[in-house]
Structure 1
Amino acid sequence: MKIVIDARFTRVDHHDGISRYGSSLIAALAKISDVSMLISDPRQLKLLPDVPYTLINSPLSPAELFVAAKVNRLGADVVVCPMQTMGSWGRNYGLVLTLHDLIYYEHPAPPGFLPAPVRVLWRLYHKAFWPQRLLLNRADIVATISHTTASLIAKYRLTTRPVRIVGNAPQHGHSPRDVTAGSDKSLLYMGSFMPYKNVETMIKGMAELPGMKLHLLSRITPARRAELESLVPRGTDIVFHNGVTEDEYEALLSRATALISLSKAEGYGLPLVEAMSHGTPVIASDIPIFREVGSDAAIYVHPDSPSEFAAAVRDLEDPSVWDVRSRRSVERAAEFSWDHSALQLMQVAEEVVAQRQRRNRTSV
Structure 2
Amino acid sequence: MTVTRRLLVDLLGFTGRRGGTETYARELLARLPHELPDVEWIALVNRHGAEAVRSFFPGKVVPVRWVGADRVSWALGTILSVGPAARRVGADLVWCPANFGPITRRPDRLVTVHDAIYHTGAGSLIARAIHTVTSWLMTQSAQQASSVVTVSHAAAKAISEHMGVPPSSITVVPNGSTPPTPPSGPWDAVESLGVRAGRRIVLSTGNRLPHKNFATLLRALAILPRHERPLTVVTGGGADDPLTSLRAELDLEKDVVLPGWVTSDELEALYAVADLYVCPSLEEGFGLPVVDALRRGVPVLANDIAVLREVGGDLAGYVDASQPDELAAGLLAAIDLPVDDGRAARIAWGERFSWESSARALAVLFRKHLNAPRVGRAAKAR
- Calculate the TM-score normalised by the size of structure 2: 0.78
- Helix, strand or coil for the counterpart of 1:324? coil
Q: In the alignment, is residue 67 of structure 1 matched against residue 75 of structure 2?
A: no
* Structure 2 contact 241–260 (Cα < 8 Å) conserved: no
Q: Which residue number corresponds to residue 307 of structure 2?
A: 289
Q: Which residue number corresponds to residue 36 of structure 1?
A: 41
Q: In the alignment, is residue 124 of structure 1 matched against residue 156 of structure 2?
A: no
Q: Which residue number corresponds to residue 278 of structure 1?
A: 296
The number of residues matched between the two structures is 345
Which stretch shifts more, 145-154 or 82-91? 82-91
Which stretch shifts more, 292-301 or 341-350? 341-350
Q: Which residue number corresponds to residue 113 of structure 1?
A: none
| 1:223 to 1:211, Cα distance in 2 relative to 1, 3 A | closer
What is the alpha-carbon root mean square deviation over aligned residues?
A: 3.4
- Helix, strand or coil for the counterpart of 1:351? helix
1:36-115 correspondence to structure 2 within 5 Å: 36-38=41-43, 39-41=45-47, 43-47=49-53, 48-57=55-64, 58=67, 59-61=74-76, 64-87=79-102, 91=106, 94-107=108-121
| 1:291 to 1:16, Cα distance in 2 relative to 1, 3 A | same
1:274-319 deviation digits (Å, cap 9, x = unpaired): 2112111111110111111111111101113334334434444556
| Letter matched to residue 316 of structure 2 | A
| Letter matched to residue 11 of structure 2 | A
* Structure 1 contact 188–214 (Cα < 8 Å) conserved: yes
1:14-33 correspondence to structure 2 within 5 Å: 14=17, 16-33=19-36
Structure 1 residue ranges without an equivalent (≥5): 111-115
2: CA distance, partners of 1:177 / 1:287: 36
| Letter matched to residue 267 of structure 2 | Y
* Structure 2 contact 105–146 (Cα < 8 Å) conserved: no
Q: Which one of 177, 180, 192 corresponds to residue 207 of structure 2?
A: 192
1:98-247 correspondence to structure 2 within 5 Å: 98-107=112-121, 122-125=130-133, 132-156=138-162, 158-160=164-166, 162-174=169-181, 185-206=200-221, 207-208=223-224, 210-220=228-238, 222=240, 224-233=242-251, 237-247=255-265
Q: In the alignment, is residue 351 of structure 1 matched against residue 338 of structure 2?
A: no
Q: Which one of 330, 333, 343 corresponds to residue 312 of structure 1?
A: 330
Deviation at 1:122, TM superposition (A): 3.3
Deviation at 1:54, TM superposition (A): 3.7
* Structure 1 contact 204–233 (Cα < 8 Å) conserved: no
2: CA distance, partners of 1:44 / 1:303: 38
| 1:242 to 1:279, Cα distance in 2 relative to 1, 3 A | same
2: CA distance, partners of 1:35 / 1:169: 24
* Structure 1 contact 78–352 (Cα < 8 Å) conserved: yes
1:308-333 deviation digits (Å, cap 9, x = unpaired): 334434444556x4323432221111
2: CA distance, partners of 1:89 / 1:55: 22
Deviation at 1:108, TM superposition (A): 5.1
1: CA distance, partners of 2:138 / 2:279: 28
| Letter matched to residue 134 of structure 1 | Q
- Report percent identity of matched pairs: 25
| Letter matched to residue 124 of structure 1 | T
1:14-69 deviation digits (Å, cap 9, x = unpaired): 45222221111111102221241312337433354141124142344468425322
* Structure 1 contact 96–143 (Cα < 8 Å) conserved: yes
2: CA distance, partners of 1:74 / 1:358: 16
Deviation at 1:74, TM superposition (A): 2.6
Q: Which residue number corresponds to residue 257 of structure 1?
A: 275
2: CA distance, partners of 1:333 / 1:196: 24
Which stretch shifts more, 344-353 or 282-291? 344-353
Deviation at 1:132, TM superposition (A): 4.0
1:182-224 deviation digits (Å, cap 9, x = unpaired): x961101101233322223322332426252111221256472
* Structure 2 contact 29–57 (Cα < 8 Å) conserved: no
- Calculate the TM-score normalised by the size of structure 1: 0.82
* Structure 1 contact 10–23 (Cα < 8 Å) conserved: no
* Structure 2 contact 274–298 (Cα < 8 Å) conserved: yes
2: CA distance, partners of 1:237 / 1:130: 41
1:102-125 deviation digits (Å, cap 9, x = unpaired): 112222569xxxxx9xx8973432
